[in-house]
Amino acid sequence: MPRKKISIPNKIEYLSILNEKSELDKKLDPDISDNLLLKLHRTMLLARKFDERLLSLQRQGRIGTFPPISGQEAAHLGAVAALRPTDWMVPAFRETAAEIWRGRTLESVIIYNNGYNEGAAIPEGRYDLPISVPVGSQILHAVGLGWAAKYRQKDDVAMAFFGDGATSEGDFHEGLNFAAVFQAPVVFVCQNNQWAISIPLAKQTRSKTLAQKALAYGMPGIQVDGNDILAVFAAAREAVERARSGGGPTLIECVTYRLMMHTTADDPKRYRTDKEVEQWKNRDPLPRFQNYLIRKGLLTEDKIAKAEAEVVQEIQEAVDRAEKQMKELGDPVHMFAHLYAAMPPYVEEQKKEFERELAELNKEADHG
Amino acid sequence: MPRKKISIPNKIEYLSILNEKSELDKKLDPDISDNLLLKLHRTMLLARKFDERLLSLQRQGRIGTFPPISGQEAAHLGAVAALRPTDWMVPAFRETAAEIWRGRTLESVIIYNNGYNEGAAIPEGRYDLPISVPVGSQILHAVGLGWAAKYRQKDDVAMAFFGDGATSEGDFHEGLNFAAVFQAPVVFVCQNNQWAISIPLAKQTRSKTLAQKALAYGMPGIQVDGNDILAVFAAAREAVERARSGGGPTLIECVTYRLMMHTTADDPKRYRTDKEVEQWKNRDPLPRFQNYLIRKGLLTEDKIAKAEAEVVQEIQEAVDRAEKQMKELGDPVHMFAHLYAAMPPYVEEQKKEFERELAELNKEADHG
Amino acid sequence: MAKMTMVQALNLALRQEMEKDDSVVVLGEDVGVDGGVFRVTDGLINQFGDQRVLDTPLAESGIVGMSIGMAAYGLKPVCEIQFSGFAYQNFHQIENHAARLRWRSQDRYHVPMVLRAPYGGGVRALEHHSESREAYWAHTPGLKMVIPSGPRNARGLLVSAIRDPDPVIFYEPKALYRAFREDVPEEEEIMAIGEPRCVRQGSDLTMISYGAMMRPTLEAAVELKEKDGVEAEVIDLLTISPLNEKILVESVKKTGRAVVIHEAPRSFGPGAEIVSRLMEKAFYYLEAPIERVTGYDIIIPLFSREKAYLPSVQRIIRSARKVLAA
Amino acid sequence: MAKMTMVQALNLALRQEMEKDDSVVVLGEDVGVDGGVFRVTDGLINQFGDQRVLDTPLAESGIVGMSIGMAAYGLKPVCEIQFSGFAYQNFHQIENHAARLRWRSQDRYHVPMVLRAPYGGGVRALEHHSESREAYWAHTPGLKMVIPSGPRNARGLLVSAIRDPDPVIFYEPKALYRAFREDVPEEEEIMAIGEPRCVRQGSDLTMISYGAMMRPTLEAAVELKEKDGVEAEVIDLLTISPLNEKILVESVKKTGRAVVIHEAPRSFGPGAEIVSRLMEKAFYYLEAPIERVTGYDIIIPLFSREKAYLPSVQRIIRSARKVLAA
Ligand SMILES: Cc1ncc(C[n+]2csc(CCOP(=O)(O)OP(=O)(O)O)c2C)c(N)n1
Ligand SMILES: Cc1ncc(C[n+]2csc(CCOP(=O)(O)OP(=O)(O)O)c2C)c(N)n1
Ligand SMILES: [Mg+2]
Ligand SMILES: [Mg+2]
């Protein structure tokens, strides 16, 4: 049936700069300062080693379940590196490298993962929301933050992170639509790590790319090699600049891979092959970036070994601090804190009741 | 920045067959039997006159608030006409012509709009869900119906209706995604009538068309002139055939216009101009179709006048039947019916309590 | 003082707070150009412009989620959900985030937002437009749940809700939007959240209600006085949650008898909590079981039968007599 | 009879119902290849194929909305929401549609679906994974709300839920998933919905609970017997809604004293309805105010403090002694 074709203004592109062999596409070189390159490398390394350490802490029962990030460092770190400290970061729960970049302490991560609410505290001066477990729900908060900044005539940008699975949630849809309609300064970063727990991308959506979902909102969308930190950074920088200068939101799909389990409660062998994991290990963003920096003359094997030793030490100190701090976090009465600005009378009563019971229990324990 | 363009498999097209001057694009003639053409015309006429009558009943306080459909008859009737009676229709609330086509009685519409649940009853043999007020929520039900048919190896198709406003709801997104992933035999028909109460399309989405939202789901999408019943029918027939033969879902955007108020509680003068309404009156689907049928020799002015008189009579009889029936629907105890298959004991007690109170009140009234 | 309907009084509260504080922004479906389907936000867009009064796309989770982000930035969003029956679309945003952000961030952020929504029956509305499900929010820690009963307290409470540093769900009894007028002062008047009010004194019986049910409750109290010589004390909750039972308990200690009245379905409804608090704190003063006069445990019927569903003066009187006779 | 965990018993119920009736289909996030994050649906996809066990995209409203459509067609969908804390995303689908379709269509359609979800604390889970908010559903007319307390009744109740012609919200106390084993017969065993059970007889005190709180409640009953010589009667609700208060009332008429125990926040929680029913139907038998031992009106803390939040044997005993002393 012959019909008129509708031309859609936005096109969807794919960006890769540093390929799997660490070869640079010179035309696309984002021209990042040596200083920044080295800082990115150091954070990636730290995050990778920290992930490994968290896993061993979890296996030893010293922290609870947590979601490892290994393999995805470039995807979220590259994106957040395009932000100013006063921009907003709205995380999901698999952006530890980006959180560290933004100033989150390693011990707060440990404390949070060991079931203390104190670990979710955000200090003044850091413009991040706490991690968000309900998949996709945080996307809308970035729209509100971005819109509010614009309303206040500040040029702050908000960057929201989420996974491939999150793109199926209604909140993803509502968030991108609101951002586009209100032209809010928001950058939507999807870490497409191919899996949502056991659900592969092909069962998540029939769309060829996630980036093309931007077309539904009349918004620019781009797919990047998410294991190529240069590409992620370049795409994010462009999107952040667009947002900051009033050009509205962008959707960035970072194609990456979760090398480890979904969380430490998950057994990926149930749903994916070792072979697939091996293939993706060849695309690991860390050695790829490292080799590039070596070739560029910014790093040597020795320097890397030294940096590794330093971050391992840094992590050890954080673990020690965290374990010391947690000894002082015992007080269960803290669970009544921070719910309202002022505690309602009936809750106050419950708290007193609880304190009385605690005291009695302690007395019994002393006597017993 | 030079980058690789991603080619997206689906393209979005626009279809118009009968233009505003009732001129047929012969290449695109869907070749509908004279019989069907006349039946469609009759239903359109009936629905239009019924809308007018409902409005006057509402203004006289003889029914409650209702949503008029005038101007949108082609958009929903054309679509539903492509279904078999055993296919499923999942309405929103502005598809009265389509409901009539499917066998809904005029009196049930009146009874429902006068606040009696009985008016929502669906008789055996009609495969329609009752109208759905929570915007967008019904879209998912069509996916479940379609999937179930496929599971039962039936070739039934489900057709879901919704407005332009509904495309902003998360359920629209989840529904289209599920349908595409499961390749459910569903046709999604969006009546884009330009307004969601007072919100114009440009504030609803930044997307150039609603049809292109299909690209986000890897699903075919098409925009049609929704005031051209031939175009709507042709697009729907193609989508229904695709769904029936295992080709999965389609999104059809019918570009149309709500000529009247949102509901009778709404005052459109607050948000849109008379001029805009006048412009759309020129595109009214009823005269457009009528003139085509006259030119085609299927109708004459006389025949139309006669048909009008007949439908007015038919409506009058329905109003009479409805008002008679409603006299018998008084029993308030009916509100306890149809909530569960078996009434739970405490609800049973409440019902008895209510009956006792009713009896007392009646006694008092008798004595007083 | 001008005589105002509740719609006008709410509008006044919004307008004055917006004048006073440019962090107050209004958003929702049809709240701008149309002025809201009940006209509560009428004229605000003309006065404050479309950057402070946002007509949003049709998506409740979007509205609430965006409000949460605005609030985290430091604004005070007042969002409207067109009818409370469509606030379930945003349930997760309220439960997972609005009610928790202060706690989750350990006081770094808080969510000074108000979610306004018309609720309840009595205006011959469509399906899903007449429900009364305040108990959902009342059971959710981290929220406040407020329901005014007249123009004046609607205005005073809305001002408090807007200024409240924590999220407030503000249900407006739509049956009262235009039902009557009251004197509402032009100058600032604030009513604190968390303080039920005794609106009629009496020593024989305590009647506890809120929202649109205050009117039949007060009528019943008058009729009980006239016909039975009974002095009923009537308490208007105003804040459903956090429930402050203090004056309820004091009253029941005095009267020994109580009736609780609400439109919501009875089971697991707000009345159950009131009964339980009185059980905890006034048991030894109770001379009869407390009666609940409520909506039935069914879905509120379409409008032709809604009167039969809603607690009536007669039903309230019957229950009061039962409690008094016991 | 095999000794089974609750996970195994639920799996047995699903498997046998699927064998018996090809209209039973299972859907949800990770329920297929992965067998569910708690393995309740383990092996079903191998036995029944991916047309009867659907791994869905990550969208709860999608899962429930699709289930409603399937049910209207005549299937019996059993959908899993991965944790009850993510069932708010589908609240509107349940409230607006699942609970109403029979009523809306005047009996032409009904919704024989089950929504399964793990709920409650005690397994050191992440944020949003430990809540207990059954009251939301219990307050919603048109639904049934079931919570088993052990492998055997979990199996029998799930079978009933699947066969029930109306929508059933089935909350599984995840703390009990693998906590203990019970004999569960291979042959069919059904437990009717709507029938609380007296699981321990006694004449001094009635203890009412359900779900994971049954264990500390029973422990407390034993300790009360041993230390105080008190004979506590213990009732397991099993069906929260529609609440059938018959045996509760009978018990309290006998004992005159009661304690209600649940994990959910106290205010506007399930205990309030139980207290109110007992007030209505056993007031004159009550010798002391009924105590509620519940979660506090705060958000359940992250796991390091969750034990402090959850009702403990000690708290239950303390309340029981208070009631007994009064
Ligand atoms: C609303 C909601 N539903 C379900 C879950 C359980 N859940 C946690 S993570 C996850 C998968 C997320 O997949 P994706 O968005 O791709 O992120 P990834 O885990 O791969 O980083 C699921 C289903 C949840 N946390 N929130
Ligand atoms: C979930 C939900 N939110 C809000 C409403 C109130 N409401 C009823 S119709 C409507 C506008 C619908 O617009 P559209 O989808 O374009 O359909 P139309 O009315 O134009 O046919 C709104 C906001 C509703 N019924 N449901
Ligand atoms: Mg993923
Ligand atoms: Mg519309």
- The answer on B177 and B42 residing in a single domain is yes
Residues C135 and C257 in one domain: no
Q: Is the same domain home to B337 and B317? A: no
Q: How confident is the model at residue B280 (pLDDT cuts 50, 70, 90)?
A: very high
Pairing status of strand B199-200 against strand B195-196: antiparallel
Residues A226 and A238 in one domain: yes
Residue ID of nearest Cα to ligand 2 atom 7? B135
Question: Is B6 touching A (CB cutoff 8 A)?
Answer: yes
Quick check: is B71 in a domain? yes
Angle, vertex CA A187, rays to CA A184 and CA A189, nearest 5: 145
Among the listed residues C143, C70, C63, the one whose alpha carbon sits nearest the alpha carbon of residue C100: C143
Residue C40 in any domain: the answer is yes
CB spacing of B266 vs C297 below 8 angstroms? no
- With CA atoms as reference, report the closest residue to A225 among A213, A237, A217, A234: A234
| D232 domain-assigned | yes
> Which secondary-structure segment (H or E) carries C264?
strand C258-265
Does one domain contain both D129 and D201? no
Domain boundary among D127, D159, D184: D184
Ligand 2 neighbour C29 (Cβ under 6 A) = yes
The Cα A123–Cα C108 span in angstroms is 7
Q: For residue C172, what are the β-bridge partners?
A: C118
Are A294 and A148 contained in the same domain? yes
Q: Where does a domain end: C138, C158, C184?
A: C184
Q: Give catalytic status of residue D129 as yes or no.
A: yes
Q: Which of B361, B353, B160 is nearest to B252 (CA)?
A: B160
pLDDT at A12 over 80: yes
D236 and D173 assigned to the same domain: no
Closest CA relative to residue B10, chosen from B202, B206, B231, B176: B176
Chain-chain contact of D273 with C289 (C-beta, under 8 angstroms): no
D282 in the same domain as D248: yes
Instruction: State the catalytic residue, choosing from D97, D110, D128, D129.
Output: D129
The answer to the question of residue D192 being in a domain is no
Q: Does C35 touch chain B (CB under 8 A)?
A: yes
Q: Which of B14, B205, B216 sits opposite A207 (nearest CB)?
A: B216
Q: Provide the pLDDT confidence category of residue C1 given band limits of 50, 70 and 90.
A: confident
Looking at the predicted complex, does its ipTM rise above 0.95? yes
Backbone angles phi and psi of B59, in degrees to 5: -65, -25
> Based on the domain organization, do C233 and C167 belong to the same domain?
no
Task: Note the pLDDT of residue A368.
Answer: 56
* Residue nearest ligand 1's atom 20 by CA: A196
- Residue D148, exposed/middle/buried by CB under 10 A (0-12, 13-18, 19+)? buried
Res. D268 pLDDT band, cuts 50 70 90: very high
CATH number assigned to the domain comprising residue A232:
3.40.50.970
Measured in residues, chain C has a length of 326
Report the C-alpha gap between B186 and B190 in whole angstroms. 13
Q: Is A2 within the bounds of a domain?
A: no
Q: Kindly report the number of other CB atoms within 10 A of residue A364's CB atom.
A: 10
Same-domain status, C174 and C209: no
Q: Are strands A250-255 and D53-55 parallel, antiparallel or unpaired?
A: unpaired
Q: Which domain holds residue D279?
A: 197-325
Residue C190: inside a domain: no
Same domain? For B219 and B138 the reply is: yes
| Subunits close to D (at least 3 CB pairs below 8 A) | A, B, C
Q: How many percent of chain D have pLDDT more than 90?
A: 99
Please check the confidence at residue B1 and state whether its pLDDT lies above 70. Answer: no
Q: Does C260 touch chain D (CB under 8 A)?
A: no
End-to-end CA distance of chain A: 88
Among D155, D184, D213, the domain boundary falls at: D184
A271 is catalytic: yes
Picking from B205, B217, B223, the nearest residue to A206 by CB comes out as B217
Same domain, B223 and B315: yes
- Same structural domain for residues A360 and A218? no
- Among chain D residues, CA nearest to A130: D127
* Residue C191 within any structural domain of the chain: no
Residues A326 and A337 both lie in one domain: no
Asked whether residue B62 is domain-assigned, the answer is yes
Q: Is B135 in contact with C58 (Cβ distance < 8 A)?
A: yes
Give residue-wise pLDDT tens across range A198-235.
Answer: 999 999 999 999 999 999 999 999 999 999 999 999 99
Please name the member of A120, A130, A178 whose beta carbon is closest to the beta carbon of C62: A178
For residue C81, list chain A residues with Cβ-Cβ distance below 8 A: none
Question: pLDDT band at residue B130, thresholds of 50, 70 and 90?
Answer: very high
Residue tagged 């007060």 (tokens): C218
* pLDDT for C8 beyond 70: yes
- Of B48, B76, B237, B262, the active-site residue reads B262
User: From the CA of B96, which ligand is nearest?
Assistant: 2
- Same domain assignment for residues A274 and A350: no
Mean pLDDT (whole number) for C148-175: 98
Residue C65 CA to ligand 4 centre (angstroms): 23
Is A81 within the bounds of a domain?
A: yes
Please tell me the total count of domains within chain A. 2
- Asked whether A30 lines ligand 1 (CB < 6 A), one says no
Active-site option among A76, A237, A262, A283:
A262
- pTM over 0.90? The answer is yes
A160 DSSP β-pair partners? A90, A188
The pLDDT value recorded for residue A11 is 83
D84 interaction partners in chain C (CB closer than 8 Å) = none
Which residues lie near ion ligand 3 (Cβ < 5 Å)? A 163-164, 193, 196
Model pLDDT, residue C131 = 96
| Residues 6+ away with beta carbon under 8 Å from A45 | A286, A304, A307, A308, A311
Query: Which of A:109-128 have CB within 8 Å of C?
Result: 117-118, 120-124
Q: Does residue B84 carry a catalytic annotation?
A: no
Ligand 2 binding pocket includes B134 (Cβ within 6 Å): yes
Mutate to test the interface with D, among B153, B335, B340, B353 (most CBs of D within 10 A): B340
- C189 occurs within a structural domain: no
B140 CB neighbours in chain D (<8 A) are: 61-62, 64-66, 68-69, 93
CA distance C240 to chain A (A): 12
Long-range pairs of B206-209 with CB within 8 A, sequence gap ≥ 24: B206/A177, B206/A180, B206/A181, B206/A183, B206/A217, B206/A218, B206/A219, B207/A180, B207/A215, B207/A216, B207/A217, B207/A218, B208/A6, B208/A8, B208/A9, B208/A218, B209/A6, B209/A8, B209/B12, B209/B253
Domain at D311, CATH number: 3.40.50.920
Mean of pLDDT over chain A: 96
Query: Which residue in A132, A182, A347 is closest to C242 by CB distance?
Result: A347
Based on the domain organization, do C52 and C174 belong to the same domain? yes
Q: Is B6 within the bounds of a domain?
A: no
- Taking CB atoms within 8 Å and a gap of at least 24, the contacts of C46-49 are C47/C15, C47/C18, C48/C18
Cα radius of gyration (chain A): 22
- What integer pLDDT is reported at residue A229 of this predicted model? 98
Which residue of A5, A12, A173 is the best one to mutate when testing the B interface, meaning the one whose CB has the most B CBs within 10 A?
A: A173
- Compute the distance from residue C82 Cα to the ligand 2 centre, in Å: 10
Nearest-Cα distance to chain D for B82, in Å, is 21
Do A124 and A53 lie in one domain? The reply is yes
Judgement on whether residues D320 and D202 belong to the same structural domain of the protein: yes
What would the pLDDT profile of B299-316 be if each residue is shown by its tens digit? 999 999 999 999 999 999
Q: What is the CATH number of the domain that holds C155?
A: 3.40.50.970
Based on the domain organization, do D18 and D113 belong to the same domain? yes
Q: Is residue A6 part of a domain?
A: no
The A residues from 286 to 325 touching D (CB cutoff 8 Å) are none
Q: Could you tell me if A337 and A324 lie in one domain? A: no
Looking at residue A61, its amino acid is G
- B323 and B113 in contact (C-beta within 8 Å)? no
- Whether D89 has its CB under 8 Å from any CB of chain C: the answer is yes
Full residue range of the structural domain in which residue B356 is found = 333-367
From residue A272, give the alpha-carbon distance in Å to each of A316, C17, D28, D34, D46.
33, 57, 19, 10, 16
Question: For residues A50 and C6, what is the distance between their CA atoms, to the nearest angstrom?
Answer: 58
- How many domains would you assign to chain C? 2
For A245, phi and psi rounded to 5 degrees? -95, 15
pLDDT at B330: 82
- Residue A230 is predicted with a pLDDT of 98
Is the pLDDT confidence value at C268 over 80?
yes
- D199-223 pLDDT, tens digit per residue, is 999 999 999 999 999 999 999 999 9
D153 in contact with ligand 1, CB cutoff 6 A = no
D114 and D9 within one domain: yes
Helix ranges, chain B (H): 34-59, 73-80, 96-101, 106-113, 139-151, 170-181, 201-204, 229-244, 274-281, 285-295, 301-327, 345-367
> Which of C51, C59, C65 lies at the smallest CB-CB distance from A141?
C65
Does the beta carbon of C142 lie under 8 angstroms from any beta carbon of chain D? yes
Q: Provide the pLDDT for residue C146.
A: 98
Pairing of strands C24-28, C53-55: parallel
CB contact under 8 A, D304 and A114: yes
Chain A nearest-CA distance from C52, in A, is 8
Same domain, A50 and A171: yes
The verdict on the CB of residue C126 being under 6 Å from ligand 2 is no
Q: What is the pLDDT of residue A8?
A: 84
pLDDT at position B61:
96
Q: Based on the domain organization, do D148 and D48 belong to the same domain?
A: yes
Q: Is B76 close to ligand 2, i.e. is its CB under 6 Å away?
A: no
Please indicate, yes or no, whether residues D16 and D88 belong to a single structural domain of this protein: yes
